[in-house]
Structure 1
Amino acid sequence: MAQSHVLRGLATISFYATDHQAAKKWYTEFLGIEPYFNMPGYAEFRIGDFQHELGIIDSAFAPADAGKGPAGAIAYWHVDNLQTTLDRLISLGATLYQAITDHSGGKGSFVTASVVDPFGNILGIMTNVHYLETLHQKRS
């Protein structure tokens, strides 16, 4: 039987910021690239091995019931060096949300951390063995 994929992959992750220009500048500095799509109130970056999209949106366009503080699910982006990336985020003004945590019983195959960016969004980062295996299979 063929496998059915209900969730096929990340299309866009949207972060809201009351100071859209400052948020766009901050993410441009962190990512080291300019947004590929840019209009008043919305900027979008294509990042990573699969060119996933990170949208920075003026909070005036946030859903009416959006919370006023960090909340909800955390999307984790794979990084090659968790500690270095975490240190860089904090040096750019993010605050630690969750310290580095090994979810693999000390094996180091699923290790996460997260920060709150200067605009109130939770940014998750992780090293993930399954991500690397999938990337290797796609390249083979």
Structure 2
Amino acid sequence: MLRGLTTVSFWVDDLAAAKDWYAELLGVEPYFERPGYAEFRLGDYQHELGLIDRSYAPAGSGTAPGGAVVYWHVDDAGAALERLLSLGAKEYEPLMERGPGFVTASVVDPFGNVLGVMYNQHYLDVLEARR
């Protein structure tokens, strides 16, 4: 039934500022934009990160960080955490080794969204097997 991650959506109060912040973090500009929405493609599988004006959020949506944490694979979780913090994100969960080959951390971006980073050996194994 579930075939893969297509888009991770973050609600933001200031779309222009969020686009600039994520463009700086990711080193790319959004590949798709329309009023109230900007989308980046990133990573080995070109997954999508969408920034959506909070006015489009479903009724009753919370504004505080919480809920599910989506972890994006990174080659160095410690360096990724340092970079995020240097750009103004706030630590949500510190760098933690979860077992051999699995290291995680998460931050709250300047727009109130939780962004997880993870060194995940399994991700690399799957990527290598597909080559």
TM category (shorter chain) comes to over 0.9
Match of 2:42 in 1: 47
Partner Cα separation in structure 2 for residue 57 and residue 68 of structure 1: 13
Letter in 1 for 2:126: T
Work out the number of aligned pairs and report it: 131
Give 1:129 deviation, angstroms. 0.9
Superposed, 1:17-28 pairs within 5 Å as 17-28=12-23
Match of 2:83 in 1: 88
Matched, 1:75 2:70: yes
Match of 2:111 in 1: 119
**CA offsets, 1:29-64, max 9 Å, x none?**
100000000112100000000000000010001111
TM-score, normalisation: structure 1: 0.92
Partner Cα separation in structure 1 for residue 3 and residue 123 of structure 2: 14
5+ residue gaps, structure 2, are none
Partner Cα separation in structure 2 for residue 128 and residue 39 of structure 1: 33
- Out of 80, 97, 102, the position equivalent to 1:110 is 102
Match of 1:129 in 2: 121
**CA offsets, 1:79-128, max 9 Å, x none?**
00111111110000000000011111xx2x11100000000000000001
Give 1:10 deviation, angstroms. 0.6
Larger Rg computed on CA atoms: 1
What is the RMSD of the two structures over their aligned residues, measured on CA atoms?
0.7
Superposed, 1:52-71 pairs within 5 Å as 52-71=47-66
Partner Cα separation in structure 2 for residue 135 and residue 85 of structure 1: 20
- Secondary structure, counterpart of 1:103 in structure 2: strand
